[in-house]
Structure 1
Amino acid sequence: MGYKVVVAGATGNVGREMLNILAERGFPVDELAPLASRRSQGTEVSFGEKTLKVRDIDQFDFTGWDIALFAIGSDATKKYAPIAAKAGCIVIDNSSLYRYDPDVPLVVPEVNPEAVEGYSKKNIIANPNCSTAQMVVALKPLHDRARIKRVVVSTYQSVSGAGKEGMDELWDQTKAVYNPTDDVKPKKFQKQIAFNVIPHIDVFLEDGSTKEEWKMVAETKKIVDPSIKVTATCVRVPVFVGHAEAINLEFEEFLDEDEARDILREAPGIMVVDKREDGGYVTPIECVGDFATFISRIRQDSTIENGLNLWCVSDNLRKGAALNAVQIAETLGNRVLKKG
Structure 2
Amino acid sequence: MGYKVAVVGATGNVGREMLNILAEREFPIDEIAALASSRSTGDMIPFGETDRELKVRNVEHFDFTGWDMALFAAGSGPTKIYAPKAADAGCVVIDNSSLYRMEPDVPLIVPEVNPDAIDGYKKRNIIANPNCSTAQMVVALKPLHDLATIKRVVVSTYQSVSGAGKEGMDELFEQTRAIFVGDPKETRKFTKQIAFNVIPHIDVFLEDGSTKEEWKMVAETHKILDPAIGVTATCVRVPVFVGHSEAINIEFENPISAEEAQDVLRTAPGIMLVDKREDGGYVTPIECVGEYATFVSRVRKDPTVAHGISLWCVSDNLRKGAALNAVQIAELLGRRHLRKA
TM-score range, shorter chain: over 0.9
Query: What's the counterpart of residue 37 of structure 2?
Result: 37
Residue correspondence of structure 1 range 307-322 to structure 2 within 5 A: 307-322=308-323
Runs of 4+ in 1 over 4 A off after TM superposition: none
Deviations 1:228-284 (A, max 9, x none): 000000000000000000000000001111011010011000000000000000000
Decide whether the 8 Å contact of 2:292 with 2:319 is kept in 1. Answer: yes
Query: What's the counterpart of residue 247 of structure 1?
Result: 248
Residue correspondence of structure 1 range 83-98 to structure 2 within 5 A: 83-98=85-100
Gaps of 5+ in 1: none
Which whole-Å CA distance do the structure 1 matches of 2:266 and 2:92 have between them?
A: 33
1:198 and 2:199 correspond = yes
Which whole-Å CA distance do the structure 2 matches of 1:312 and 1:45 have between them?
A: 32
Which whole-Å CA distance do the structure 2 matches of 1:194 and 1:27 have between them?
A: 38
Query: What's the counterpart of residue 112 of structure 1?
Result: 114
Which whole-Å CA distance do the structure 2 matches of 1:55 and 1:213 have between them?
A: 36
1:234 and 2:235 correspond = yes
Deviations 1:45-76 (A, max 9, x none): 11132111000000100000000000000011
Which whole-Å CA distance do the structure 2 matches of 1:195 and 1:321 have between them?
A: 26
Which whole-Å CA distance do the structure 2 matches of 1:279 and 1:44 have between them?
A: 41
Which whole-Å CA distance do the structure 1 matches of 2:169 and 2:60 have between them?
A: 28
The normalised TM-score by structure 1 is 0.99
Deviations 1:198-239 (A, max 9, x none): 000000000000000000000000000000000000000000
Which whole-Å CA distance do the structure 2 matches of 1:98 and 1:305 have between them?
A: 38
Secondary structure at 1:286 match in 2? helix
Query: What's the counterpart of residue 18 of structure 1?
Result: 18
Which whole-Å CA distance do the structure 1 matches of 2:186 and 2:279 have between them?
A: 37
Please state how far the C-alpha of 1:30 moved relative to its aligned partner. 0.4
Which whole-Å CA distance do the structure 1 matches of 2:66 and 2:72 have between them?
A: 17
Count of residues in correspondence between the two structures: 339
Deviations 1:135-178 (A, max 9, x none): 00000000011000000000000000000000000000000111
Which whole-Å CA distance do the structure 2 matches of 1:196 and 1:186 have between them?
A: 13
In structure 2, what residue type is equivalent to 1:15?
Answer: G
Please state how far the C-alpha of 1:111 moved relative to its aligned partner. 0.2
Secondary structure at 2:165 match in 1? helix
Which whole-Å CA distance do the structure 1 matches of 2:248 and 2:206 have between them?
A: 23
In structure 2, what residue type is equivalent to 1:145?
Answer: L
Which whole-Å CA distance do the structure 2 matches of 1:305 and 1:51 have between them?
A: 56
Which whole-Å CA distance do the structure 1 matches of 2:180 and 2:261 have between them?
A: 45
Secondary structure at 1:40 match in 2? coil
Query: What's the counterpart of residue 27 of structure 1?
Result: 27
Residue correspondence of structure 1 range 17-166 to structure 2 within 5 A: 17-48=17-48, 49=50, 50-166=52-168
1:262 and 2:272 correspond = no
Which whole-Å CA distance do the structure 2 matches of 1:186 and 1:205 have between them?
A: 23
Decide whether the 8 Å contact of 2:179 with 2:185 is kept in 1. Answer: no
Which whole-Å CA distance do the structure 1 matches of 2:44 and 2:139 have between them?
A: 34
Gaps of 5+ in 2: none
Which whole-Å CA distance do the structure 2 matches of 1:43 and 1:261 have between them?
A: 47
The normalised TM-score by structure 2 is 0.99
Which whole-Å CA distance do the structure 2 matches of 1:79 and 1:45 have between them?
A: 24
The Cα RMSD (Å) is 0.6
Secondary structure at 2:100 match in 1? coil
Which whole-Å CA distance do the structure 2 matches of 1:173 and 1:323 have between them?
A: 30
Which whole-Å CA distance do the structure 2 matches of 1:39 and 1:257 have between them?
A: 52
Which whole-Å CA distance do the structure 1 matches of 2:201 and 2:186 have between them?
A: 17
Which whole-Å CA distance do the structure 1 matches of 2:134 and 2:340 have between them?
A: 30
Deviations 1:307-329 (A, max 9, x none): 00000000000000000000000
Query: What's the counterpart of residue 223 of structure 1?
Result: 224
Query: What's the counterpart of residue 338 of structure 2?
Result: 337
Please state how far the C-alpha of 1:339 moved relative to its aligned partner. 2.0
Please state how far the C-alpha of 1:109 moved relative to its aligned partner. 0.2
Please state how far the C-alpha of 1:179 moved relative to its aligned partner. 1.3
